[in-house]
Amino acid sequence: MVEPGITLVDAAELKELMKKKFMAAGLPEAPAEETAKHLTYADACGIHSHGTVRVAYYAERIAKGGVNLAPNITFEKTGAASGIVHGDNGIGQYVCNKGLDYAIDLAKESGVAAVGVEKTGHSGMLSYYVKRAAENGLVAIAMCQSDPMVVPYGGSENYFGTNPIAFAAPTDLEKPVVFDMATTVQAWGKILDARSKGRAIPDTWAVDQNGDPTTDPNEVAGLLPIAGPKGYGLMMMVDVIAGSLLGLPFGKHVSSMYEDLTQKRNLGQFYILLDPARFTDPAAFKHRVGEMVAELHAIKPASGFKSVRLPGEGSQIRYQKAMEDGIEVATEIYDYLRSDTVHLDMYDGKGAFA
């Protein structure tokens, strides 16, 4: 049963609609195709904060010059197993997917790859990248910077971004193990969803402008790190590796998503890829990971749970269902995608919590 205000859309149609919108904004076909493919994946996974809801924003930034439409993406090999992808501020999904190609090739050549992507735009869901690496037989870790939206543990002013981390490993089963998480208690998209539905949020998610916990999604001025100082430490780690290590702005100096859509973002992303064949028998490795999955699934679930799932497994289940039955899209967004309107001119100059 589809909720009111939601339209079920075939994945191929949805990707094509988004691709056309990006091209109408000025993006060439290849990056438009890749970006639309990525956003379709996000919505199919049920992570709507990284799917079609971003199209109007991307289209506006593209149209206003905040994306390099013809980036010179190059790979600089800096060591036997290291390198830097110079993204030249192209659209994030396209640049980071190209960067992953270089990282995969290097991992297969050297056994290990530590590859940074410098000067890119918002890159979407990290699970998209590590999943592709796992499908190429590699163990993968990815991390990236984001807007300063999070108060440090014990603080009342924003400094770091949600700075996500993702992990994937191949198995001898149908699907790889894929895990993707922000280093905050909850993603901003969940708070936006609560705001749109007039619902309160738990007081553990965010703080107001005074740094005090809030249950009102309209009063949110900063997000909270997961597990207090532990999440704070993880987001700092990501910022150092995906930012400072690549010579990019760090912490509160990372560019805002909305402040000035005419300016390039200069964000960083980092991949660490491992070839199991350099450490063990790759078939045996995949089997061991597959056994782990089976053993976790066999654990008796706790009260209130139907089964034990792996971290990230819910997204994969939703993805499979959506690709078969259709992807849920807000009807308002679907109408915009089918319209002749390129963008809504509504994001430029806004704050992070607009």
Domain boundary among 198, 224, 250: 224
Confidence (pLDDT) at 2: 79
Beta-bridge partner residues of 179:
167
Q: Decide if 23 is inside a domain.
A: yes
Q: What range does the domain containing 18 cover?
A: 6-66+317-338
Say which of 48, 50, 122, 343 is annotated catalytic.
Answer: 122
Q: Decide if 133 is inside a domain.
A: no
Tally of structural domains, the chain: 2
Domain boundary among 159, 193, 224: 224
Sign of CA dihedral 320, 326, 328, 334: positive
Mean pLDDT, 10 residues at a time, the chain of 354 residues = 88 98 98 98 92 95 98 98 98 98 98 98 96 98 96 94 97 96 87 79 94 94 96 98 98 95 97 98 98 98 96 95 95 96 95 80
Confidence (pLDDT) at 196: 67
Q: Catalytic residue at 297?
A: no
What is the identity of the amino acid at 168? Answer: A
The number of angstroms, rounded, from the C-alpha of 63 to the middle of its chain's C-alpha atoms is 22
Q: Decide if 106 is inside a domain.
A: no
Sign of CA dihedral 7, 9, 15, 19: negative
Q: pTM of the prediction? A: 0.95
What's the Cα-to-Cα distance from 33 to each of 41, 93, 190, rounded to whole Å? 12, 10, 27
Q: Decide if 144 is inside a domain.
A: no
Q: Decide if 75 is inside a domain.
A: no
Q: Decide if 180 is inside a domain.
A: no
Confidence (pLDDT) at 297: 97
Output the domain CATH number for residue 26. Answer: 1.10.1530.10
Q: Decide if 47 is inside a domain.
A: yes
Output the domain CATH number for residue 204. Answer: 3.30.60.50
Q: Decide if 301 is inside a domain.
A: no
